[in-house]
Amino acid sequence: MRNDIDPRDELVEHLSALRAFAMSLTRNSAAADDLVQDTIEKAWKNIDKFEPGTNLRAWLFTIQRNAFYSSRRKAKREVADIDGAMAASLSEKPAHDGRLAMNDFRKAFEQLPIEQREALMFVGASGFSYEEAADMCGVAVGTIKSRANRGRRRLAELMGLAEGEDPTILDATSASVIAAHPQQG
């Protein structure tokens, strides 16, 4: 047993990231905070299973992910806040440039299936590699890539940045038509 660095002392540095990830899973701030608490307690208890020198945040995300799915299986009920707790809790900040668009983006994000949300949280938002994300989710690298890309495409659609598979839609003229008539298609 090595005792030079106690990873438990580093947990505090990952609390914000855990909350961000929990929010993307639960879409509900109360449920997210309960999930973070559960994760901290589990991590503390199982800290001897953490391999020093490996990525602590990835380890914590994996615990949190497992905790989330096992409690979801137990509860078997949808706790998601359909109106978007994430958007609501963040929109209280003073509005400035881009804020409105960001709220739209969060709402769009919350509509994605959970596999796509977590893939995008890992590789899009937190900067893990596809390999690391695949490891954390216990699936193949190709699966993570396809979930992340489907998620990105869906977000682009929801945000009116692109339209399905239509390759012509992104030229300037079509884009302005879409912008003028967002409900079209």
Partner 1 sequence: MTHNKDVSSVMKQIDENLRQVYRDVETNDVPDRFKELLAKLKEQEASNAK
2: left (phi over 0), alpha (psi -120 to 50) or beta: beta
Binding residue for partner 1, selected from 167, 180, 183, 184, defined by CB under 8 A: 167
Q: How far is the CB of 72 from partner 1 (least distance, A)?
A: 20
Task: Check binding of 58 to partner 1 (CB under 8 A).
Answer: no
- Judged by CB under 8 A, the chain residues 76 through 95 that form the site for partner 1 are 86, 90, 93
Task: Check binding of 44 to partner 1 (CB under 8 A).
Answer: yes
In the chain, the largest separation of any two C-alpha atoms, in whole Å, equals 65
- Judged by CB under 8 A, the chain residues 108 through 127 that form the site for partner 1 are 109, 120-121, 124-127
Number of H helices, E strands in the chain: 9, 0
Stretch binding partner 1 (CB under 8 A), from 7-15, 51-59, 75-83, 136-144: 7-15
Q: How far is the CB of 79 from partner 1 (least distance, A)?
A: 18
Is residue 25 a contact partner of residue 15, using CB atoms and an 8 Å limit? Answer: no
Three-state secondary-structure class, residue 79: coil
Task: Check binding of 106 to partner 1 (CB under 8 A).
Answer: yes
CB burial of 128-156 (b: ≥16 within 10 Å; e: otherwise) equals bebebbbbbbeeeeebbeebbebbbebbe
Cα–Cα distance, 164 to 157 (Å, whole number): 6
Q: Which residue has the tokens 């509509």?
A: 111
Interface with partner 1 (CB under 8 A), residue total 38
Sequence letter at residue 56 = L
Task: Check binding of 155 to partner 1 (CB under 8 A).
Answer: yes
Task: Check binding of 130 to partner 1 (CB under 8 A).
Answer: no
Q: How far is the CB of 28 from partner 1 (least distance, A)?
A: 13
Task: Check binding of 50 to partner 1 (CB under 8 A).
Answer: no
Is residue 24 a contact partner of residue 117, using CB atoms and an 8 Å limit? Answer: yes
Q: Which residues bind partner 1 (CB under 8 A)?
A: 8, 11-12, 15-17, 19-20, 23, 33, 36-37, 40-41, 44, 86, 90, 93, 102, 105-106, 109, 120-121, 124-127, 152, 155-156, 159, 161-162, 167-168, 170-171
